Amino acid sequence: MIRIKRLFVLMGLVMIVFMFSGFKHKQIEEKQSNTNMCWSEENLLNDFYKNFRKSQAEYNKAITYFKVNEENHLDEFGGVFVDKEGIINICIVGNNIPYESEFLRYKQVSNSYNLLKRIGEELQLVLKEYTIWMRGICESCNYVIIRLEEESNIPLVINYLKVKGVYKQDILNFL
């Protein structure tokens, strides 16, 4: 009887040891797979930043063509944004690409950054009147984003911008 008890106790201890060793092994595998995932994410981030640094140097050369001065651009300039690969994209109105590089991309757009900026400035003057909560420029989308407290003011905002001479079809995105 004592031998049977010892056998069951020994079998129980062996099972507990196997359970814990399996658990630790599983934890080690998960940590390794997470580490591998982090490495790939880290590599992606490194690629992003490497591309961005190279792209930024090229952008500094290209943007001089579009600048009138520090604050103003030619109407051929539509904005700039960084894509998910870390490459700077310059939005252009028209077909003129002043400087080519593998670390720059050009995107044709309909609206100049000057027009988008002017719309934002005009809206700034009537924020309270038309209950505008937010307004901003989406350079990658090439339009002005507007959030109103009351959607019923949308026609009033459009009419105001028409009167000011800065409204174009598909230049506004109301949220």
Burial class from Cβ neighbours inside 10 Å (0-12, 13-18, 19+) for residue 41 reads: exposed
Q: Quote the pLDDT of residue 71.
A: 87
Q: Residue 112's closest CA among 85, 89, 91? A: 91
Neighbours of 77 (CB within 10 A): 21
Q: Residue 143's closest CA among 161, 165, 117, 122? A: 117
- Higher per-residue confidence, 37 vs 173: 173
Q: Which pTM does this prediction carry?
A: 0.73
DSSP 8-state assignment for residue 94: S
User: Residue range 29-51: average pLDDT?
Assistant: 62
**pLDDT tens per residue across span 9-20:** 555 555 554 455
Q: What is the largest CA-CA distance in the chain?
A: 101
